[in-house]
Amino acid sequence: MYPTSPDKLLFTPGPLITSATVKEAMLRDLGSLDRDFLATIRNIRTRLLDLGPYSHEDYECVLMQGSGTFVVESVISSAIPRDGKLLVLVNGAYGRRIAQTARVHGIELDVFEVAENRKFTPELVAEYLSSRIGITHVAVVHCETTSGILNQVEEIGHVVHRAGASYIVDAMSSFGAVPIDMAASHIDYLISSANKCIEGVPGFGFILVNRRALESAKGHARTLSLDLYDQWASMEANGHFRFTPPIQTLLAFEQALNELDEEGGVHARGERYKANHIALCRGMKDIGFEVYLAEEDQSFIITSFRYSSNPAFRFADFYEKLWTAGFAIYPGKLSHESCFRIGSIGRITVVEIEALLEAIRRVLNDMGVHWVREEVG
Binding-site residue set: 341
Q: How far is CA 266 from CA 17, 219, 272, 343, in A?
A: 18, 35, 10, 18
3-state secondary structure of 86: strand
Residue 163 CA to residue 175 CA, distance in Å, equals 25
What residue numbers does the annotated binding site for substrate cover?
341
DSSP characters over 151-169? --HHHHHHHHHHTT-EEEE
- Please state, as a whole number, how many other Cβ atoms lie within 10 Å of the Cβ of residue 74: 27
- Whether the CB-CB separation of 112 and 89 falls below 8 Å is answered with yes
